[in-house]
Structures are given as structure tokens and as C-alpha cells.
């Protein structure tokens, strides 16, 4: 599953490379949403998929607290902060999915659109919205 997920994430994030110029919010949101929903669709157990979707959705408010360009380590730490150890133990695929998805989405968009503070905050917020959109059909609280 990890290989399929990685390929899906890379394919969806490739969408970021098709546009140049100012930040294309919709492109970032849609690319992240496609990567998220595609990855979730590869999880065949519906109960596991729902749990993972709920946590991915819960990461969005945490991402919106970011006020300066995060490093990949800071993004990984934020994901870990929002994930209880018991959940990490029961659903290790959550961290294996969320961490590269979020880090790659932010990194690819930052490389494409710039790393000044205002641009990065906009990108991170777009990634958060993409997570919400990509989990919407799987999210059942």
C-alpha cells in the first residue's frame, strides 16, 4: 500500500507544477484533496479509513496555526502532536500517510510559489483546506 500511496501522492502533487506565477490556491487545494482522497481510497477497511480520515481532517486546524515557514521536521512534529500515541500504535499507516502527504504538499508548493512568510502561510492554509476536502466523503464523526 505504501508504494501505491506514494505514487498517488506524487501524481496528485504533480498538478502543482502545471501553473506558474502567483499562488494558485485552487490548484494547491485540489492537488492536496486528490492526493488525500486517492490515498484514503487505497485503505480497504472502512473503519480504518474513517479513523484516518478523521485525523487527517483534524490536522487542518493545527496547520492553520503556523505563522512562518515550517521545516519538514516541524511539520512532522505538528502531526505527531495532534496524534495520540494510542492512535499511532493502532494505526501506524496514519503517520506513514499524513507526514509525507503534508510535507510534500507544502514543500512542492513552496518551491513553486515562493517561501516568503505570507506565501507560505497561504500555501499551508490551502493544504489544510485540501485535507478537509479530500477527507469529506470519508469523514464520519
Domain spans of the chain, in order of start: 2-135
Is the pLDDT assigned to residue 15 strictly greater than 70?
A: no
Mean pLDDT of the chain: 86
User: Burial of 95 by CB count in 10 Å (0-12 exposed, 13-18 middle, 19+ buried)?
Assistant: middle
Are the beta carbons of 32 and 131 closer than 8 angstroms? yes
pLDDT of amino acid 18 = 52
Between 14 and 89, whose confidence is greater?
Answer: 89
- Mean pLDDT computed over 38-64: 93
Left, alpha or beta for 22 (phi > 0: left; psi -120 to 50: alpha)?
beta
How far apart CA 120 and CA 98 sit, in angstroms, is 19
- Mean pLDDT computed over 25-42: 90
Q: What's the farthest any 2 CA atoms get from each other in the chain? A: 43
Residue located via cell numbers 494547491: 28
Q: Which of 17-21, 78-82, 102-106, 121-125 bottoms out in mean pLDDT, i.e. has the lowest? A: 17-21
Are the beta carbons of 97 and 5 closer than 8 angstroms? yes
Reported as a single tens digit per residue, the pLDDT across 53-107 is 999 999 999 999 999 999 999 999 999 999 999 999 999 999 999 999 999 899 9
Amino acid at each position: 500500500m505504501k508504494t501505491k500511496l506514494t505514487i498517488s501522492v506524487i501524481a496528485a502533487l504533480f498538478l502543482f507544477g502545471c501553473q506558474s506565477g502567483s499562488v494558485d490556491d485552487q490548484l494547491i487545494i485540489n492537488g492536496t484533496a486528490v492526493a488525500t482522497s486517492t490515498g484514503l481510497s487505497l485503505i480497504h477497511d472502512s473503519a480504518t479509513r474513517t479513523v484516518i480520515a478523521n485525523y487527517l481532517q483534524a490536522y487542518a486546524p493545527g496547520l492553520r496555526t503556523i505563522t512562518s515557514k515550517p521545516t519538514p521536521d516541524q511539520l512532522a512534529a505538528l502531526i505527531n502532536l495532534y496524534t495520540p500515541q494510542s492512535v499511532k500504535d493502532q494505526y501506524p499507516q496514519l503517520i506513514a500517510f499524513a507526514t509525507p502527504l503534508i510535507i510534500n504538499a507544502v514543500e512542492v508548493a513552496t518551491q513553486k510559489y515562493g517561501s516568503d512568510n505570507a506565501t507560505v502561510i497561504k500555501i499551508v492554509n490551502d493544504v489544510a483546506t485540501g485535507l478537509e476536502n479530500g477527507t469529506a466523503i470519508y469523514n464520519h464523526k
